[in-house]
Amino acid sequence: MKFAAVSASPSRPLLPLTASGRPITHAKPPPPPASSTAAPAAPAPTGATTLTFTLASTNPSAVPLSQIVANMPSQATVPASTTYAPGTSPTFLPGAPGLPDYSPEVQQWIQDVKNSGVSIPNFAPTTADGSCASNPEAAADQTRCWWTCGGCKADDDIEECPDKMTWGLTYDDGPALHTGDLLHYLDTVNLKATFFAIIAEFRVVEEGHQGCPGCHPCLLRPPYGDVDNRVRAIAKAMGLQTSIWTRLSPTATFDTGDFDINGGLITSEQVLNNWQNIIGNATTIDHGFIVLEHDLFQQTVDIATGYILPDALAHQPPFNIMPMVQCLKKDLKDAYLETNDNATNPIGSANPTGTGGNAEATGTGTGNGSSGASGNGSNSAMGIASPSSLSALAFALVWSAIALVL
């Protein structure tokens, strides 16, 4: 797969993409530079080392949980079968453009935001590590409506699917070496998903778009899920709608914690126990749900294909698993700026910025047990992928990430 990326001027960075001002090119902040002194030993992963429940089903070829650990040996990857050249035309979505020439586009995007008529709040950047504890005033500011700190959401933020027992399947922070393994598995079980994929710059279109190679998606997922009213307003100015994941309370957030397996911060068993808590809540709420998972690491793909997805497919009563665009009852054309006429999918029509309301409700489970450190990368997109290759993905873009959809 190839990306057609745009580079911003190093002397004048683009508008900050997260509420906390974190860097946009990594799902997690990069490690500190190496020093001449010996580094302290890495902490042992936290969480259970045994399952607290019985999985309804597993993949017969699943990698044993005892081997899904930090620094596990790499397995063979599934190569992409097709890449797309600039100028490639869409194959199945009428009216969609081909891949663009990016040379003038970055400055045009900045100008588009200025010309949009959307008022962009001028909040002061958060300080220190961008955490809630380090920024109590910002966290308490209801006009900021900071989702990370308190769960404040705008009326049109996407956190859930409307229909009970419906799972809007998403994966973050790829494409990566083992994304092909995940695609292959999804094909074998006849599932499609939305992928929020990492990109290096603010806005990028994936050349591997199956049917809409030059399209810009309508949904975004900010880095870390870190969004406030300034980020929402910039998104609206660009025709994008904020999409996060389900959060019932501070201890019942639908985050598997899988991102932290690779770093040795959490055990695979604890990730599956988190998953059990998620589906325990999912079966009792009166709407559908969106879960934070990743295709960035081999460990996250192994957990998804070997355990989480087989368990979900065997669940009774059954889950209705689908890409986010379908979970929201939208037509595929509504997923892209070029083909969305705003009649059936108006962006920001409900409430472009949050009003300080709290998105939290009482969860019925015990929470997800995550360390709370899981980063999700930023993303935005929807689409459907045809089976058997990375080119079958419908990628969508976001701030510092693209969203792909199978």
Q: Which residues are tagged catalytic?
A: 172, 294
Residues 6+ apart with CB under 8 A from 226: 18, 19, 20, 22, 130, 147, 148
With b meaning 16 or more CB within 10 Å and e meaning fewer, what string describes 300-339?
bbbbbbbbbbbbbbebeeebebbbbbbbbebebbbbbebb
Nearest to 135 by CA among 119, 146, 122, 120: 146
Q: What is d(CA 38, CA 40) in angstroms, rounded to the nearest whole number?
A: 6
Alpha-helix runs per DSSP H in 103-257: 105-115, 136-140, 179-188, 229-237
Specify whether the CB–CB gap between 194 and 404 falls below 8 A: yes
Q: What is d(CA 84, CA 295) in angstroms, rounded to the nearest whole number?
A: 22
Backbone angles phi, psi at 101, to 5 degrees: -95, 120
Strand extents, DSSP E, 246-355: 247-249, 252-253, 289-290, 320-322
Query: For residue 193, what is the DSSP state?
Result: -
In sequence order, the β-bridge partners of residue 171 are 195
Q: What is d(CA 83, CA 48) in angstroms, rounded to the nearest whole number?
A: 42
Structure tokens at 19: 């509420």
Neighbours of 155 (CB within 10 A): 13
